[in-house]
Amino acid sequence: MKTAVVTGGSGGIGGGICRRLAADGFQVVVHYGSDQNAANAVVSDIQRENGAALAIGADVSSEKEVQDLFAQTLSRFGSVDVVVANAGAMRGGPIADCSVDDFDRLMAVNFRGAFLTIREAASHVRDNGRIIFVSSQLAERPRQGTGLYSATKAAIDAMLVSLSKEVGGRGIAVNSVRPGATSPGMFDESDEEKKQQFIDLSAFGRLGTPEDIAAVVSFLAGSDGKWLTGQHIRADGGMSN
**Which is the catalytic residue, given 2, 10, 61, 135?**
135
Q: Are 77 and 71 in contact, with CB atoms under 8 Å apart?
A: no
Q: Is 136 an active-site residue?
A: yes
- Vertex 114, ends 99 and 69: CA angle to 5°? 120
Q: Is 223 an active-site residue?
A: no
Q: Is 135 an active-site residue?
A: yes
Backbone angles phi, psi at 177, to 5 degrees: -115, 130
Q: Are 19 and 46 in contact, with CB atoms under 8 Å apart?
A: yes
Q: Is 176 an active-site residue?
A: no
**Which is the catalytic residue, given 10, 32, 61, 153?**
153
Residues marked as catalytic: 135-136, 149, 153
